[in-house]
Amino acid sequence: MTEMHPAFTAAVADLSERHRDEVLAAYAALEHSWQPLHESQLLALRDATLRRSLQQLLHPLGRTLVKVGPHNWTSGYRDDISRELSAEMLDSLPLVDRAVFVLILIHSVAIPRSQGLVDLDSWISNQPTTAEELTRYSKLPRTAVRAGLARLRASGLVQLAPDRRPNSQKAGSSSSAGASYLPGPQLARLTPAARRLLQEELILAAGADTPLAAAIRARRARPSEDGIPKPAEAHTDVPPQPAAEPPAATDVSSSAASTSTGTQPPTRADASFASENSVPQENS
C-alpha cells in the first residue's frame, strides 16, 4: 500500500481498507470537482460515519465540508482559515474584476432575491447579467470588461449563462448583443457564515443608507467578549436593497474571491469568525 500523508492518517486510521478508500476518493472528488457532488455518487457523503471521517480529514488541511441544497456537497476553506488568508490576499483580484464581479452579484442575485426569485441563503442564480449591462453600469471600456470576465471565468467566480433562445432566434440575432453571465460554481464553496457575510457586504454596498446597513455597521463596531468585532449573525431575513448606481467593489469582491479549491488564491471568501480551536462539525 502506498504510504499515506500524515495529515490523512489519523482521520482514517480506524476505518477498514474499503471505507478508507471511500473517504480518500470523496476527498479527491470534492477538492477537484468543478461542481458540487450529489451524495448518491459517493458512499463517504451518504454515510454519516464516513462523512465524519471525511470532515476530520479535511479539518487539518484548512478545509471543511459544505452542504449545497438537500443532497449535494462540496468543500471549502474553514472560516478561521479564510479570515487569516483574507488580509494577505485582499488584492488578489484586479479592481476591474472586482467591479464586474460585484455587478453580476447585484443584478443576478441581490435584485432577483429582493423580488423573491433567488433563495435567501443561495448565490446560485438563473437570472443572467448581460455583457452590455456590465459595460453600461461599470462605465469601463468594453475591452477591460471582457478581460475581467475572462479572468473571472477562469477562476470559476462567474460562468456563461446558457442561451435558451430557439435556434432561429440565435441565428438571426446580432453578435453585438453579447453573452450573459451568472455567478460561478466556486460560490457553492462558501460556508454558511461566509454566505451571510457576503450578503451583508452587498447590503452595505447596494443600500448603504438603509436601516439594515446601519444595523450591520453598528453590530460590527461592537467588540465581542474576546475583543474581536462581532461577525455576521445567522439572521438574513431582510434582502439587500438594490441601488441605482453601481457600488464600490472592493469589500464585496474580496468576500468571495477564495471560494475555490486550494489551487486558487484565497482572499476573504469564506471569512467568518469561528475559532480555530473549535471542533470540526459538518454543515447540515
Q: Kindly report the number of other CB atoms within 10 A of residue 9's CB atom.
A: 11
Q: Express each pLDDT in 67-96 by its tens digit.
A: 998 999 999 999 999 888 776 666 677 889
Domain 89-254 in this protein, CATH class: mainly alpha
Q: Virtual CA dihedral for 147, 150, 151, 153, nearest 10 degrees?
A: 150
Q: What are the cell numbers at 269?
A: 471568501
Query: 463596531: which residue's cell?
Result: 221
As a whole number of Å, the CA-based R_g of the chain is: 20
DSSP category for residue 276: T
Under-70 pLDDT residues of the chain: 1-4, 87-91, 164-178, 224-284
Domain ranges of the chain: 6-77, 89-254
Interior/surface letters 90-115, b for 16+ CB within 10 angstroms, e for the rest: eebbeebbbbbbbbbbbbbbbbbbbe
* Helix or strand (DSSP H, E) at 242: none
Two domains, one topology: 6-77 and 89-254: yes
Instruction: Tell me if residue 47 falls in helix, strand or coil.
Output: coil
Which CATH architecture group holds 6-77? Orthogonal Bundle (1.10)
Alpha-helical segments (H) within 115-229:
131-138, 142-155, 167-172, 192-206, 211-221
Q: Express each pLDDT in 186-240 by its tens digit.
A: 999 999 998 888 888 888 877 888 998 999 999 988 876 555 555 554 333 333 3
